[in-house]
Amino acid sequence: MTTRQKHILYNALFLLVCGGILLFLLLAPPETTRPLPNDQDHQMFMTMKKKEAERFCQACHGPDGRAPLPKTHPPKYRCLFCHKLP
């Protein structure tokens, strides 16, 4: 295999990989997770860093809180990983 053929092969492989990544990203489902509500109850968390704000989530959204999460909710220790700040 000549150097020119190797270059063509590598370029074709590169384009194929890039095309595969682009196709994967274009076919990804839309984001369905609601953002953190911008209301009076959550206002104090808007200026905090994510890890700092997540320490307070279980107070209201824990099993004994005023707005408990459903049993089918995914792991509850990284709230702001999915529920983005607006």
Whole-number pLDDT of residue 64: 85
Distance CA 51, CA 45 (A): 10
Q: What confidence tier does 77 reach under pLDDT thresholds 50, 70, 90?
A: confident
Whole-number pLDDT of residue 21: 97
Distance CA 74, CA 1 (A): 52
Distance CA 73, CA 76 (A): 7
pTM, two decimal places = 0.59
- With 80 as the cut, is the pLDDT of residue 63 above it? yes
Whole-number pLDDT of residue 86: 76
Q: How far is CA 73 from CA 6, 21, 63, in A?
A: 51, 30, 12
SS3 10: helix
Q: CB neighbours of 78 closer than 8 A, spacing ≥ 6?
A: 54
- With 90 as the cut, is the pLDDT of residue 5 above it? yes
- Give the model confidence (pLDDT) of 6-62 as tens digits: 999 999 999 999 999 999 999 999 888 888 888 998 998 888 888 888 888 888 888
